[in-house]
Chains A and B, each alone.
Chain A
Amino acid sequence: MSEAVEAAVAVPAILAEVKPAVLPRAVLVENNRSFAWISDKICGIIEGPTPRWWWICFGVASFIASFTVAGLIYLVGTGVGVWGHRSPINWGWPIVNFVFWIGIGHAGTLISAILCLLRQKWRTSINRAAEAMTIFAVVCAGIFPLFHVGRVWFAWYLFPLPNSNGIWQNFRSPLEWDVFAVSTYGTVSVLFWYVGMIPDLGLLRDRFTAAGKRVRAFLYGLFAMGWRGSNRHWSNYEMAYLILAGIATPLVLSVHTIVSFDFAVSLIPGWHTTIFPPYFVAGAIYSGFGMVLTLVLPLRAVFKLEDLITQHHIDNMCKIALATGSMVGYAYMMEFFIAWYGANPNEGFTFINRAFGPYAWAYWTMVTCNVIVPQFFWFKGVRRNIAFVWILSLLVNVGMWMERFVIICTSLTRDFLPSSWGYLSPTVVDIFTFFGTFGVFGTLFLLFIRFLPMMPMAEIKAVTPQADAHHGHH
C-alpha cells in the first residue's frame, strides 16, 4: 500500500526537463492605464458637454418611443380588438414581444452575476451597461402582458391584493408564476445595478464637489449614500455583492424557465415539451449577447473606449453567442427528433407544418439567423471585423424575435379542430407599438449613458495589475 503511494508521489524524471510554457494572460485594460486615467475617462463622459450626436439620437429615440405611447393610448381608448390576434391565436404579437424583450435582459444578468461567480474578470468593463440593458428590456417587456390583459386598469388583479370580489389569484397557473418571476427579476436587477453603482456615485460626488457644481454634487451624493471607501465598508459591500450575484444566478435561470412554463405546462402540440426550459434560457442568453454587442460596439467607437472594451472582450462575447446559438440549434433538431420519436400524430403534424406550412418563411429566417449566423463566430477574422460583428448581432435579434413568433403562431394557428384554423396578421397598431419599444429602450439607454457611470470604475481599477498589493512592490 505505502509503496504504491510512494510510486505515485515520486516525481517522474522527465518533469525536470519540461519547461512549462508561459501563456500570457489577456490584458483587461490596454496600454497599462493608471487609476486616474480610468476615473477621468468614465467620469469625463458625464462631466463633459452633451455631444450633438446625443441630442440627435435622443430626439430620434423619443420620436420612435411616441409610437408605443400612441399605440397604447389608441388601444386603451378603443379595446384590445385593435391588435391582430383573434381566436384561436389569442397570444399574438404582444406575447412574442414580451418573451423577446425579457430574453434580451438575460445577458445582462449573466454578465453581472454568473460571470462574477465564475471569477471572469473581463466582465467588469461591460457589466454596468449590460445591467442597464436588462432593466430597460424588462421595462419594454412589461408593457405587453400589462396591456394584453385587456382592461389595464385591472392589472393589479395580477397581484395578491385584497379585492372586492374576495377571491385570490390562481397560484396553480404558470401565468401567475410569471408575474412573480418577472417582477422579482426587475426589482433584483435594479437593486443589483444600484448597489454596484454606489462607489462610482461617490467618486462623481467628490469630483463635482471639487469642480464647484453644487447641485450635481448634491444629487450624486444623495444616491451615493455617503460612501467613503472605508475598508470596513468594502468588506460588507463585497460580501453583499457576492450574495446578490449568488441569488441573481438562480433567479435569471428561473425567469426564463418560468416563461417557458407558460408554454410547456399547456397541452398545445409544439409547446408541451420538457426541453423548453433549458432551450428558452439558452436562447435568452444568445439574444441578450446579440443586444449587448449591438449596444456596446457603437459606444466603444463613439467614446473611444478601445482600451477598456478590448478585442478580448468582443471575442468572448462572440464565443458565448456561438455556444448558446449552437445550443438553440441543437434544441431545434431535438424537437423534431422527439416529434418523430414520440409518434404523436398531432405533435408530428405541428413540426412538419412549422417547417413547411404557411409560416415556413418565418421558420427558415429563424434557422438562418439563430443557427447559421452564429457559426461565423468560429473565425477570428470575423470576430476582429467590428462592423461585421455588429451586423451579425442585429441578425441574432431578428432571429430570436422570429423564434418566439414561430413558436406562438405555428402552434396556435393549427388548433386540434381544423375548423378553427387561422392565420395571424398583425395590425398597424401591433407593429407601431412594438416598433416604439425600441425607442423606449433607446431613450432610457441614452439617458443612462449621459447621466450615470457607464462602466464600474472601482471594479475596473481592482482588476488592473497595479491594484495587486503584492505585485511590483518596491
Chain B
Amino acid sequence: MSEKSYGLIAMFDTPADIMQAAEAVRDAGYKSWDVITPFPIHGMDRAMGVRRSLVPRISLAGGIIGFVTGMGLIWWSGAWNFKLVVGGKPLFSPLFAFPISYELTILFTAFATILGMFLLNRLPMHYHAVMKQAHFQRAMDDRFFVVIEARDPRYDRAATEALLARLGGREIEELED
C-alpha cells in the first residue's frame, strides 16, 4: 500500500448529474481534475472549462509537410536527379504533380492527427491510478466519474470529499498513486 494519494474519485449515474457536478467542481476553482465518461458528452468541455483542442495545429503541420513532400519528390526525382523526357512533356509541372501531392497531404495529415491526439493525451499509458477503482469497469460502460487530484492546490481530503458527496457522488474513494 503506497502512502501517496492520487486523489478522490466519485461515481455518478446520469449524464445530467455528471454535467452538474463538473460545473460545480469547475466553479469551486479546481484545476487538476477530470471527468471520466463512457462516451463524449455534448457540452462537457464547456462545463469543465477545457480549452479547444490543439490537434488541428498538428494536423495542419502534417498536411503542409505532406504537400511539400509530394511536390519535392516529383521535382527532385524528375527534374533534378534523373532528367528523363517522357512523351515530350515538361520535366516538372505542378499540374501533373498535384494528384500525388494531394494524396500525400491527406496521408501525412492523418498520421499527424493521430500522433498528435496520442501525444496530447499522453497515450499509450497502460496503467493509471483511476483504473484501480473498484467500479472503474463501468466507466467504459454506463457510469460517470469525477476525479480530483491530490496535487491540486485546493485539494483537501475532507473538504473535497464533502463537495463530491454534496454533489451526489457515490462510492467516493481515495486513489493511491
Contacts and interface: CB of A to CB of B under 8 A. Distances in A.
Chain A bound to chain B: yes
Interface of A: 34-36, 39, 160, 166-172, 174, 176-177, 180-181, 184, 187-188, 191-192, 195, 199, 202-203, 206-207, 209-210, 221-222, 225-240, 243-244, 247-248, 250-251, 254, 258, 261, 458-459, 461-462, 466-474
A458 B38 contact: yes
Contact of B99 (A36, A180, A226): A180
Nearest to B77: A168
B140 A206 contact: yes
B16 A180 contact: no
Given A167-B84, A172-B89, A469 B16 contact: yes
Interface string B83-112: 010110100000011011011101101110
Contacts of B99: 174, 177, 180-181, 254, 258, 261
A184 B37 CA distance: 33
Given A177-B100, A231-B48, A247 B106 contact: yes
Nearest to A37: B142
Interface string B31-64: 0001111111111110010101111100100010
B121 interface: yes
B131 to A, nearest CB: 6
Interface of B is mostly: helix
28 contacts: A39-B142, A160-B77, A168-B82, A169-B77, A171-B97, A191-B110, A195-B114, A203-B140, A203-B141, A207-B140, A207-B141, A225-B124, A225-B126, A226-B128, A227-B140, A229-B140, A231-B44, A231-B45, A231-B50, A238-B40, A239-B56, A240-B116, A240-B117, A462-B41, A467-B39, A468-B42, A469-B41, A470-B43
Given A231-B34, A240-B114, A243-B56, A188 B106 contact: yes
A39 B56 contact: no
A261 B45 CA distance: 45
B38 A235 contact: no
B81 interface: yes
Contacts, number: 210
A187 B104 CA distance: 11
B4 to A, nearest CB: 20
Contacts of B113: 240, 243-244, 247
B118 A243 contact: no
Contact of A243 (B18, B103, B109): B109
A35 B13 CA distance: 11
A207 B39 CA distance: 16
B100 to A, nearest CB: 5
Contacts of B159: none
A239 B53 contact: yes
B142 to A, nearest CB: 4
Contacts of B114: 191, 195, 240, 244
Nearest to A251: B106
Interface of A is mostly: helix
Nearest to A221: B126
B121 A232 contact: yes
A160 B59 contact: no
Interface in B107-157: 107, 109-111, 113-114, 116-118, 120-121, 123-128, 130-131, 136-137, 139-142
B137 A225 contact: no
B14 interface: yes
A410 B34 CA distance: 64
Contacts of B102: 250, 254
B74 interface: yes
A289 B21 CA distance: 43
A34 B128 contact: no
Contacts of A187: 107, 110
B106 A225 contact: no
Contacts of B16: 469-474
B177 to A, nearest CB: 15
Contacts of B100: 171, 176-177, 180
Nearest to A206: B137
By Cβ-Cβ distance, the 5 closest A-B pairs, closest first, are A35-B142, A203-B140, A240-B117, A239-B53, A168-B77
A361 to B, nearest CB: 36
A438 B39 CA distance: 35
Contact of B78 (A171, A184, A250): A171
B132 to A, nearest CB: 11
A192 B111 CA distance: 10
Nearest to B116: A240
Given A227-B140, A232-B34, 10 more contacts: A39-B141, A160-B73, A203-B38, A226-B126, A229-B36, A230-B34, A233-B121, A247-B113, A251-B103, A469-B44
A139 B173 CA distance: 49
A160 B125 CA distance: 36
B105 to A, nearest CB: 8
A231 B42 contact: no
Query: B22, B86, B120: which has the most chain A beta carbons within 10 Å?
Result: B120
Query: B19, B73, B127, B141: which has the most chain A beta carbons within 10 Å?
Result: B141
Given A166-B82, A195-B114, A466-B15, A207 B38 contact: no
B97 A469 contact: no
